[in-house]
Amino acid sequence: MPINILSVFLFTIAQFGSMTMPPTNLRPDLQRYCETLPNEFARISDERKESLREIGDFVVEKLKANEPVNLTYICTHNSRRSQFGQVWAKVAAACYGLKDKQVQTFSGGTETKAFNARAVAALKRTGFTVDTDGDPKNPNYVVKFSESDSPLKMFSKVYKDGFNPQKDFCAVMVCSQADEACPIAYGAEARVSLPYEDPKNSDGKPNEAKAYDETCRLIAREAFYLFDYVKKQLPE
């Protein structure tokens, strides 16, 4: 039977994509989810790859100088996209072999509201374990993804909140409103615009969960591309 060359090539690419990540201690469902993300890098536009590499260059420069990397994801209310950004950048860094002390991720808004329950539910569907203190106005969440990495403490706050770094961080602007409202991210060493469509537009509609899952996966995919790029710039 003749070999289908295209099928072999695509299979090889898919396998290589998954093999770029070192072994991790991710929770099993999350591990399976993450292993598929490198196979989707071709879906990222050249324009967005350029922005992701800009963030990556900031990360690489810090790592080569043995300085801590701080990434702060910023949107208007710190309720959806910026929270996704913080979580997935941290997971991606861990999956590409970068330790807690090397890369820290944060999120904030130009104003505050709450980490939206729909976004929390989307993270749970990918395999995260999420605990909360139950505060009805602005809950504090503990997001666990690994047996060996520190969990993330998540809550809505302004980007200048004392919980976040006050200087030498890269501000990643994940919505156009925050990008316009915050032309200067005070204390930031670098600032990159990387906007995503707001899944809030689907709230209360039949496609609500699907829209949140798609936004969650889009941000995850791009975070993994970012750290795949970082890993390739670092010496073995």
Is 41 a residue whose pLDDT tops 70? Answer: yes
Residue % of the chain over a pLDDT of 70: 90
Are 46 and 220 in contact by the 8 Å Cβ rule? The answer is: no
Longest dimension (CA), the chain: 65
Is pLDDT at 48 greater than 50 in this prediction?
yes
Among 115, 222, 121, which Cα is nearest to 172's?
A: 222
Contact between 101 and 133 under an 8 Å Cβ cutoff? The reply is: no
CA distance 86 to 165: 13
pLDDT in tens, 7-30: 333 333 333 344 456 556 899 999
Nearest-angstrom CA–CA distance, 193 and 141: 26
The packing angle between helices 117-126 and 81-95, to 10°, is 20
Average pLDDT, the chain: 90
Residue 183 confidence (pLDDT): 86
pLDDT for the residue 36: 96
Indicate the pTM of the whole model: 0.90
Per-residue model confidence as pLDDT tens digits over 52-85: 999 999 999 999 999 999 999 999 999 999 999 9
What is the token pair recorded at 62? 């810090």
> 108 and 138 in contact (C-beta within 8 Å)?
no
Determine which of 31-40, 61-70, 130-139, 184-193 has the lowest per-residue pLDDT on average. 130-139
**98-107: average pLDDT:** 95
Q: What's the pLDDT score for residue 17?
A: 42
